[in-house]
Amino acid sequence: MLDLKLICEESNRVIQNLSRRGVDSKTISDICALNQDRKKMIQELEALRQKQNSVSKDIVRLKQEKKEATDELKNMKKVASEAKDLELKLQAQEAKLKDALLWVPNLLHESVPEGKTSAQNVEIRKWGKLPEFQFTPLDHEQLGEKLNLLSIKRAATLSGSRFTFLTGWGAKLERSLINFMLDINTQEGAYHEIFPPLLVNAETLTGTGQLPKFKQDLFKIENHDLYLIPTAEVPLTNFYRGEILSKDALPVQFTAYTPCFRSEAGSYGKDVRGLIRQHQFNKVEIVKIVEPEHSYQHLESLTQDAEKILQRLELPYRVVALCSADTGFGATKTYDLEVWIPSQKTYREISSCSHFEDFQARRMNLRYRPTSTAKPQYPHTLNGSALAVGRTWVAILENFQQKDGSVLIPKALQPYVGTDIIKM
């Protein structure tokens, strides 16, 4: 959530920045108008309360003087009724204003490149050598079926499209990747491991920005105020929601493995084959809550922490800075890590590393004190995938496949999987 004071006092700057995302200036002017009406109501309510106090004093004085106070009592009742009505109107106005604010995206950092589509994202760097096959490579679904690693058809009979059974070595590879990623994050990245709830309420999802805008992408539990999490970012970032932390508590660095659940609304016809886009998938997340002064250094280090895993797995990838139109609703700046997928002859997103500044902290009312006597301030939050497990599984199968249909296991992962090759 953006600071209301910033929106109304520097509306031109806010409008200019958000125009990079395609946000209409009317969105901001409407919020400022709502705020002006709210302020006017507050002034009117204060005037009524002052009038109540004045009439109340008159009634006390008249009673002390043993004089008639009928008119004053009638006036008091009338003023009290007007104040109550105005209080209700003010509450409705404040709710309307808050709702409007929840739909406004974050301001973009000045370094975010201009662009209207993902094609205008800017490549920052590449790592690794692309595989050169002396045979026609298979895609991961073909490999998985030949090696008995998955069963998409059987999953479809149970759950419909975009679900998968992983079996045998396929299941073990998935589990091994989860453990490998968590070990790297906790032993080398100084992240504190959490195993969070997979069901959260609407307030929690509002805190990280999934609600109200992305409600259609979520799975809601019928007759309950609970949703399946779309990412571990949600419970991890909300861990201290509503609290005031000491400076010594920062930086907070969390990591978690969770299953994630997304309806993929708007993705009809996209990535219908294989494991690239699923309703249920596994992901290891990293989250930081930090002081504003050093937060952009943390974005670089968080991105490098995710890159480290790809490098250990010897998977070729690139880092791209998302352009203005492709940067997510709550993010002020995002780097995507994209891994090479040979069957598609392209790089595909395997991690988004995002900086939110105080956007999420305001929505969660999460604050910290720079000193023991200082006024509470909002920290900055960051998160990224380290990594999307299913897409890493896909990348290993496709990049390490051999002519005979077997798949080599990256050296760093072999102690976890218990073999150096998966074969027929």
Q: Is 391 a catalytic residue?
A: yes
* Catalytic residue status for 49: no
Checking phi first, is residue 297 left (phi over 0); if not, alpha (psi -120 to 50) or beta?
alpha
Which residue out of 295, 324, 352, 385 is catalytically annotated? 352
Residue 352 known to be catalytic:
yes
DSSP E strand stretches across 332-390: 333-341, 346-355, 367-369, 380-388
Q: Which helix (H) or strand (E) holds 199?
A: strand 199-200
HSE value, Cβ hemisphere, 13 Å, CA-based, for 138: 18
- Distance from C-alpha of 129 to C-alpha of 311, rounded to nearest angstrom: 11
Catalytic annotation present for 262: yes
Tell how many helices (H) and how many strands (E) occur in the chain: 13, 16
Q: b/e string for 292-321 if b means 16 or more Cβ within 10 A?
A: eeebbebbeebbebbbebbebbbbbbbbbb
Could you tell me if residue 128 is left (phi over 0), alpha (psi between -120 and 50 degrees) or otherwise beta? left
Nearest to 274 by CA among 420, 159, 149: 149
* Residue closest to 194 by CA, chosen among 336, 415, 383: 383
Which entry of 21, 38, 49, 277 is annotated as an active-site residue? 277
The residue from 262, 348, 363, 367 that is catalytic is 262
Distance CA 395, CA 311 (A): 13
Residues in CB range of 170: below 8 A, 6 or more apart: 144, 147, 148, 149, 150, 393
Residue 363's DSSP bridge partners are: none
How far apart are alpha carbons 19 and 27 in whole angstroms? 11
> Of 307, 343, 391, 398, which is the active-site residue?
391
Catalytic residues: 262, 277, 349, 352, 391
